[in-house]
Structure 1
Amino acid sequence: MSIKAIAILTVVSGLAGCAHEVPISSQSGAAEVMSTKVSQQKAYLVFSSNLMTASKEVKPGFACGAHSFPMAIGDALKSSITRTVGAAYPHSLSTGSAIPSTADGLIFKFDLSDFDPTIRFAPGFLVPTADANVEIAVQARVADKTGKELITTTFHGHGHASEDGACGIGADALGDAAKKAIQDAMENFVDKVINTGALDTVATTVSK
């Protein structure tokens, strides 16, 4: 097949648009949890509805512009946070969006502040290059069993990935970027919440 024919097929592929669902996998920041921060007290995880249902339909610019990439990140984000908190609090329990009325442990509340996935296609000799970026930000609030707030912070994650191929390859690039963004966010969460000393006094009081 001539280079001219390949170029024509690439253009036709770009015009024949369709939706490519982005695969997003759960990650964990468990490896970053300091052994001295592991606690046997109970912990309840509460997630806002906008975090659990977070999704966006990502559209590129002119190149591959007829294509779209639906991204549903909510389940993977919720699962990643649950796994990460569980590494520090083995007796943690997710309550969905319901705040426990009679909590006998810490209450972690998570709310999605930002989810910004983007993708652009750069022309190549034979096939375009998909360049994907994903930014996420989650607000975390931790309170003791009396409702007293101990920590309020926002942790962030960024991921970037590039893939060469036809327009559909953008789903893989976005999926890889999302994976890296979630992993980055989980490690940032552990640094800003789990590994700090803000929860140590609570753990000490419970253990007595």
Structure 2
Amino acid sequence: MSERHPSSVPKIWPSANRPGFHKSFQLNLDDHLDIQHATRQLLPLGPTVAAVGAVALFVALILNFDRWREGDVVTSTIYIGASVVVCVLLAVLLLNPARQLLRFMYRRRLTRFGVIGKPVESTVDRNGICYTVLGQTVTCTWDSLYALEEDDGTFYFWMSKIVAHPWPARVFASDEERQTFRQSVMEWAGRPFSPPVLARLGAAGRLNLPD
């Protein structure tokens, strides 16, 4: 049997001279949303339509107040109802373009500030987690880690209730790699991965959690 050359081993696999996992990747907008927001959807359908309907109702009431005061209740009611319906329908029709525009603006802002789109050099081994981005290195031992979470193949290493370092699912080439990584981390950390409770709360929802 021929011996495999060390250079043929993927970087993500642990090696004999470095018992850990190392990977280079870039965070994208969805990675940021998964940590900082309760959902990736910046304009959810229900709240957005409800807000537009409420604003339309308020404006329609003001515009039809004089007609209502003069006793033309039927006409005022028709105008108010029609205004709300039209605005709600427009909101539904324009929702997808508005979502795309908002994501574009948010992505450009995060890229400009270096939050996403920058190379991240991350190492996970028996000592803990160490990653470097924009020339700054952050190290966290397993004992000081706030929480471990997993969501749909993505692993979240929570340094605190606010700050998390993700290993996105896309960095793994196969389920076998992901399983090997998961088992190694659980062995080193001495605890299993939890469901994405912190990630689903968003930054605002985690403020009242204990440190």
Taking structure 2 as the reference length, the TM-score comes to 0.27
Compare the two structures and name the one with the higher helix fraction.
Answer: 2
Between structure 1 and structure 2, the one with the greater Rg is 2
